[in-house]
Amino acid sequence: MIKRKRWLFFQSKEEIPLRFFKYICVIENSEYKSGLAGGGGGDSTRHFYDVNLVGKNSSSDHAEGFEINMFLGQYPMTEAGRSKAMEFGGMVASQVGLPLRADKNL
């Protein structure tokens, strides 16, 4: 049951059983930040690695309806950050009994 809905993400005060998830995923991600108007700041893009718990109804084209994906962690896009993201993802995957997947670039 969804308690609160905020844009495409949700927060729930209820526990969600692991059977609703299919794997742990480490992906490359980025966030675009526009400079402030009149503030002299330029546009920038921040790159990082995300570790996510991916729901069984998720699809690459998002065509299968509501998705239950949970953000677990974020690491800087450095060699050390990549290593920490993979280590954390592997630790979570082994503890919950789900496979670990990573972007093809990792």
Render pLDDT for 14-50 as a digit per residue (tens, 0 to 9).
Answer: 677 788 889 999 999 887 776 655 555 566 777 899 9
Please tell me what DSSP assigns to residue 19: G
Split at pLDDT 50, 70, 90, the class of 3 is very low
Would you say residue 95 lies in a domain? Answer: yes
Pull the structure tokens for residue 55. Answer: 């729901």
Is the full-model pTM beyond 0.85?
no
Range of the domain at 49: 20-102
Contact 32, 48 (CB under 8 A): no
What is the count of structural domains for the chain? Answer: 1
What confidence tens digit (pLDDT) does each residue in 83-103 have? 999 999 999 999 989 999 998
Instruction: Give the residue ranges of DSSP H helices in 1-106.
Output: 79-96
Would you say residue 8 lies in a domain? Answer: no
Would you say residue 3 lies in a domain? Answer: no
